[in-house]
């Protein structure tokens, strides 16, 4: 998937999610392995309420790959 298309998918229309997703994408996506990239793409396919529950409310994803990416995003400084 084209990085520009993926970056566009990081824009969710909820400022808090946009900041977290775009910030992590810009600073981490190129450096992670294929498994983590795949998990990030799966994360982006989730509906906004589910994304918010993981990234903002601290719920734990059932998918271990998504859970690892969520932990990485939440641990990253906001951009």
* Integer CA distances (angstroms), 5 to 16, 35, 40, 44, 77, in order: 20, 19, 13, 11, 23
Distance CA 12, CA 48 (A): 7
Q: How far apart (Å, rounded) are the C-alpha atoms in residues 73 and 78?
A: 9
Full set of structural domains in the chain with CATH: 3-75 (1.10.150.250)
Structure tokens at 74: 């939440």
Q: What is the pTM of this model?
A: 0.90
What pLDDT, on a 0 to 100 scale, did the predictor assign at position 5?
86
- Separation of alpha carbons 66 and 63, rounded Å: 5
pLDDT in tens, 34-49: 999 999 999 999 999 9
């Amino acid at each position: 998937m084209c990085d520009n298309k993926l970056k566009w998918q990081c824009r969710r229309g909820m400022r808090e999610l946009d900041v977290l997703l775009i910030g992590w994408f810009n600073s981490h996506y190129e450096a992670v392995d294929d498994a983590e990239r795949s998990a990030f793409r799966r994360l982006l396919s989730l509906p906004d309420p589910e994304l918010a529950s993981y990234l903002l409310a601290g719920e734990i994803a059932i998918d271990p790959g998504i859970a690892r990416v969520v932990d990485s995003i939440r641990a990253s400084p906001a951009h």
